[in-house]
Amino acid sequence: MPPFLVIDPSGRPRTASGPPTLHAVAHAIRCAAIARIDLDPGSGLAGYVNEHCRRDGSEPNAVGSCLLSCLGSPVQGVYAGPVAVVGWDRTRHDLPDDQRLRGLTEETRRLLECTADQIMAALDGFDSGRPVAWDRAVREHGREVRATYVTQVDR
């Protein structure tokens, strides 16, 4: 089965080895308590994050947070620690989550990596190759991720 993608807090995407199971996703994001982030229904993707990300001292993940927003997360989430993106079967509501996970196609994995690189460029103040408004929105969300994370950890 094809692998899944993990965005580390550094912003660098990496391909997780092995098929996407809930255990493998939890291991890849270094937390047993994971939360699924629903993405655009047409994407065939889902995100997974550390459920306790801000309480356990994980680093903010601006690239991962922005990527999930770009992929249609219903809210502009603020996530810390690694973020995983997996294939997701939206048609089988009768199955448990572990059986709805799918590996990413090579094409989808490359597209996600490219998008993560564009997000990182925008966050670093460079032209991402996308519209200026997209770069501005990414930078704004990245600032929100970092500011919210600091506020939560400092409390």
- Taking only the tens of pLDDT, the chain with its 155 residues reads 579 999 999 999 999 988 899 999 999 998 878 999 999 989 999 999 988 765 567 888 999 999 999 999 987 788 888 999 999 998 988 999 889 999 999 999 999 999 999 999 999 999 999 999 999 999 999 998 888 765 444 33
Two structure tokens written together for 28: 């890849």
d(C-alpha 125, C-alpha 58), whole Å: 24
pLDDT attached to residue 153: 40
Taking Cα atoms as reference points, which of 9, 131, 146, 135 lies closest to residue 81?
Answer: 9
d(CA 104, CA 80): 23
CA–chain centroid gap for 151, Å, is: 21
